[in-house]
Amino acid sequence: MIPPGSTIGILGSGQLGRMIAVAAAQLGYRCHVYAPASGPACDVAAAFTRGGYDDAAALAAFARRCDVVTYEFENIDPAAIDVVAECAPVRPGRASLEIGAHRGREKTLAQDCGGRPAPWRAVASLDQLGAALDEIGTPAILKTATEGYDGKGQIRLRHAGEATAAWATMDGRECVLEGFVGFTHEFSILLARGIDGDAVAYPPPHNIHVEGILARSLVPAPDIVARQAAAAIALARALADRLEHVGVLTCEFFATDDGPIFNEMAPRVHNSGHWTVEGATTSQFENHVRAICGLPLGTADLTGDRVEMENLIGDDADRWRDLLAEADAHLHLYGKRDARPGRKMGHVTRVRR
């Protein structure tokens, strides 16, 4: 066990790191952020080291000042994890990062664990894209295998004649082609798993996306999602156990008439779990801290009858005065100065009783 008063290292300086650091501070921990540039997490952390993820000396010096290290996003070279792990335990470990950062690997693992992703093929050339389209058909979506998020790094193909232009936009990067599935709702499973293998799953939120970006998460989800939650949780648990994952693991699903379809996973706390700060007995961020430090996990019960999380994207954050005037609104602003279109500037949670 890593007791309160110890230092938690966080790789990455974004808003997820910020909320991990806030939860850690409430439990008496200090946080030390490592990233190439300052970000929202630095505003609330006890220390910050500026360095590249390819700077072995800086990574090792950072890790020696930490009692445990975690990461707030998965676009980190696994070699950086190896450097850090020589000086401090890293939770989740390298396996979770390697799988969760690559769409093809996570789909393969999901299949190995009994899950069912949408039809997909790995694509590394225009010829392979053509062959994949012949097998899967259209409409389909071409995605980069790594580093895609919030609708980035992907393009829809309505017919095979768009293959050449679509492949050109990927600049030769490794990709996956996914077939479309008919679904009624999107939802996610947030699972916190401890060092001892104990796990806690949150009620699945119904996630509503606009232009590829999460707009709202609603709990409890509609009945069709509730009926498929047990199967989805079982897959998330199987993935976490296979990876020996420690911390929060997020799996996204499509609810269909034939059961849940696995979409993708993130080896970390997740935007679709922000509602848990006020909407659950123990937030995803606190349970992540508890897990990586070897503490007992907290319960995931709802604190109200209905919870809604709304992302504040771009200029939406300018509504902060009106949101503060709402009696049941809990406002979170991330401290970002540049409200670019599509950029997550904060969120608001409403708990109804």
307 bridge partner residues: 219, 351
- Report whether 12 contacts 90 (CB < 8 A): no
Q: How many helices (H) and strands (E) does the chain have?
A: 11, 17
Give CA–CA dist 106/94, Å, rounded.
14
Predicted TM-score of the model (pTM)? 0.95
User: Along the 353 residues of the chain, how does pLDDT read in single tens digits?
Assistant: 999 999 999 999 999 999 999 999 999 999 999 999 999 999 999 999 999 999 999 999 999 999 999 999 998 999 999 999 999 999 999 999 999 999 999 999 999 999 999 999 999 999 999 899 999 998 999 999 987 665 677 899 898 888 898 899 898 899 999 999 999 999 999 999 999 999 999 999 999 999 889 999 999 999 999 999 999 999 999 999 999 999 999 999 999 999 999 999 999 999 999 999 999 999 999 999 999 999 999 999 999 999 999 999 999 999 999 999 999 899 999 999 888 999 999 999 999 98
Q: Which pLDDT belongs to residue 151?
A: 61
Give CA–CA dist 2/300, Å, rounded.
22
Q: Which pLDDT belongs to residue 149?
A: 63
Q: Which pLDDT belongs to residue 154?
A: 85
Q: Which pLDDT belongs to residue 317?
A: 95
